Amino acid sequence: MSCLLFTLLLLPLVGSGLLFFWKNNSSKYIALAFAFAEMFIAFYMLGNFDFHPTVDAPLQYEIAYPWSSYIKSSFNFGIDGMSMLMVILTNILVPLIILSSFNEKKAYPNSFYALILLMQFGLLGVFTSLDGLLFYIFWEVTLIPIWFIAGLWGQEDKRIKFTTKFFVYTFVGSLFMLIGLIYVYNQSASFALTDLYNATLNTNEQTVIFWFIFFAFAVKLPVFPFHTWQPDTYTYSPTQGSMLLSGIMLKMAVYGVLRYLLPITPLAIGGISGEIVIILSVIGIIYGALIAMISTDSKRLIAFSSLSHVGLIVAGIFASAVVTMRTGLTFEGGQGAMVQSFAHGINVVGLFYCADILYKRFKTRDIRKMGGLAKVAPKFAILFMIILLGATGVPLTNGFIGEFILLKSVFAYNYIMAVLAGLTLILCAAYMLRFYGKTMFGKGDEAVLATTKDISSVEFSVLASLAVFVIALGVYPQPIIEMVSNSLVFIYKSML
């Protein structure tokens, strides 16, 4: 069985290498074929996945080869419920992201698709690695392709400045994580995950390590004061770059917080640090939502809404962690975070695609200059509405379940925080509906509307498949919750 995971990891790399030399217009079809093959493997693995394992911390499809005896690290990959969910998310989104670019004429298409597949390789590595150093390496591997995607295909006049900012910001963050991990390694004498968990560290050490490692995650998520790279990078990247960044790359940090930060530094989280993080993320929730309310740039609006949603995810994870340290095992926050990560990945990719479709029609990102599209593009109006409601967290859409569980876990920590965090639901509805109203109803540019047709079949198929996920997971989220519960229980238990 282990060869399955091996194939899953290597296939994108092979595809990427092939595409770099495939200077041909057919490169997009090859990329799509690789992505679909990858999706097929992922679903096959899901089919054989044991949802109710009998042992603690069940790892399935495990691969382990020694790598370096000098640095005690090994090629150790495996999948548990959390990883499985993220692997599925990656493999659902990457084909859709590739498909979403089919109508565009990109310069150097082969390199573009090669970089997307390379990115997929890095992301899958992050989600399946069971070794601290390997995790760090894949974490950085994802940075290189997205840097090139944003730098080469981004908006002409701004791309260099903002991609440099993005790269330096995230790279500095990751280096802090590396230092933190090396410190833990010096205590545990191995990078293997279980050894890192068992490292003996006192509270002061844990606090320092917590902030070092958390800095990397906080930049990537982003959490409130470290978010300044995000709106610019999301806005000036090509649409596919924004989708990769917000849809999947952000989830790396959520995954990292759960997988590494909670079990390694529980004492720090139980102390003041956990509370500071919760306060920061609640600030982020409100701050992001307020800025989104007044944003006129469609992509910037989505970027700030993402900041707001991520704030809730982080607040939920840490609220449960703090409660676990104080009163006893609760893992709802983690559950909610995983469900919401999956939902947010799907919704935000849909929203960015809608923003892209609007941009193609109106040739502007300013939502004040759009309008009236619902009349000429009814199919688009419906699909956009479904995805938008999913992002808002209306019941029976995928966003609702996650936000509900997250708010519940924050409530268990502190009801004032929960009330503040709950503002996200109201504010989100306000800015999202404003976004929808301004663009789809009202008076638009008549000249544009006269020549505009409804969405093409490619656009329809991408949006429709996302909309199917939005509704299906909203009606029946049980499989996801079941999938992650087991590994989350293990993670929150190992804090104690």
Partner 1 sequence: MSVLIVLFLTAVLVLFSGVFEKGKYARYIGILGLIVGLYFSFLPDCEFFAQYKAMYEYGYNAALFTKISIVVTLFLFFLGGFAFSNHRSHQSELYSLMLFALCGGIVLFGYQNLVTLFIGIEILSIPLYVMAGANKTDLRSTEASMKYFLMGAFATGFLLFGVALVYGSVGSFDLYAIHDFAINNPKNLMLIMGSILMLSALAFKVSLAPFHMWSPDVYQGSPSLITAFMASVVKISGFFALFKLMTIGFNGIAGDWINILGVFIILTLLLANVMGLVQTNAKRMLAYSSVSHAGYIALIFFGLNNFSTYILGFYLFAYSLATVGVFISLIWVEKIKKETSFAAFNGLGKREPLLAVVSTISMLSMAGIPLTAGFIGKLGLQFWVRH
Using DSSP's 3-state secondary structure scheme, residue 74 falls into: strand
CB of 157 to partner 1, least distance (A): 15
CB of 215 to partner 1, least distance (A): 17
By C-beta, is 137 or 376 nearer to partner 1? 137
By C-beta, is 23 or 375 nearer to partner 1? 23
What's the rounded Cα separation, in Å, for the pair 312 and 406?
Answer: 7
CB of 171 to partner 1, least distance (A): 8
Tokens of 264: 């390694």
**Range in contact with partner 1 (rule: CB under 8 A) among 55-63, 129-137, 202-210, 268-276:** 129-137
Convert residues 167-186 into a mask of x (bound to partner 1 by CB under 8 A) and - (unbound): -----------xx--xx--x
Asked if residue 33 binds partner 1 (CB under 8 A), the reply is no
CB of 353 to partner 1, least distance (A): 28
Report the candidate in 117, 176, 104, 115 with the shortest Cα–Cα distance to residue 147: 115
CB of 118 to partner 1, least distance (A): 11
CB of 308 to partner 1, least distance (A): 32
By C-beta, is 260 or 384 nearer to partner 1? 260
Asked if residue 252 binds partner 1 (CB under 8 A), the reply is no
What's the rounded Cα separation, in Å, for the pair 4 and 287?
Answer: 44
Buried b (16+ CB within 10 A) or exposed e, 465-492: bbbebbeebbeebeebbebbbbbbbbbb
By C-beta, is 140 or 275 nearer to partner 1? 140
Backbone angles phi, psi at 2, to 5 degrees: -65, -20
Tokens of 349: 């990719």
CB of 106 to partner 1, least distance (A): 15
Report the candidate in 243, 249, 235 with the shortest Cα–Cα distance to residue 163: 235
**Do 373 and 367 touch, CB atoms closer than 8 A?**
no
Asked if residue 69 binds partner 1 (CB under 8 A), the reply is no
Q: Give just the sign of the alpha carbon dihedral 331, 334, 340, 342.
A: negative
By C-beta, is 183 or 411 nearer to partner 1? 183
Convert residues 269-308 into a mask of x (bound to partner 1 by CB under 8 A) and - (unbound): ----------------------------------------
What's the rounded Cα separation, in Å, for the pair 149 and 240?
Answer: 8
What's the rounded Cα separation, in Å, for the pair 441 and 463?
Answer: 20
What's the rounded Cα separation, in Å, for the pair 13 and 15?
Answer: 5
By C-beta, is 186 or 451 nearer to partner 1? 186
By C-beta, is 111 or 397 nearer to partner 1? 111
Using DSSP's 3-state secondary structure scheme, residue 67 falls into: strand
Number of chain positions touching partner 1 (CB under 8 A): 15
Asked if residue 429 binds partner 1 (CB under 8 A), the reply is no
Q: Cα(first)–Cα(last) distance of the chain, in Å?
A: 33
Q: In terms of C-beta density within 10 A (0-12 exposed, 13-18 middle, 19 or more buried), how is residue 41 classed?
A: middle
Q: Which of residues 184-203 bind partner 1 (CB under 8 A)?
A: 186
CB-based contacts of 382: which residues, under 8 Å, 6+ apart? none
Asked if residue 18 binds partner 1 (CB under 8 A), the reply is no
Binding partner 1 by CB under 8 A: which of 55, 70, 327, 453?
Answer: 70
Binding partner 1 by CB under 8 A: which of 1, 71, 272, 426?
Answer: 71
Binding partner 1 by CB under 8 A: which of 18, 37, 64, 137?
Answer: 137
Question: How is residue 68 annotated by DSSP?
Answer: E
Binding partner 1 by CB under 8 A: which of 62, 140, 205, 275?
Answer: 140
Tokens of 210: 């917590």
What's the rounded Cα separation, in Å, for the pair 83 and 253?
Answer: 13
**Do 481 and 409 touch, CB atoms closer than 8 A?**
no
Binding partner 1 by CB under 8 A: which of 32, 37, 144, 464?
Answer: 144
What's the rounded Cα separation, in Å, for the pair 392 and 407?
Answer: 14
By C-beta, is 180 or 222 nearer to partner 1? 180
CB of 256 to partner 1, least distance (A): 15
Residues that bind partner 1 (CB under 8 A): 70-71, 133, 136-138, 140-141, 143-144, 178-179, 182-183, 186
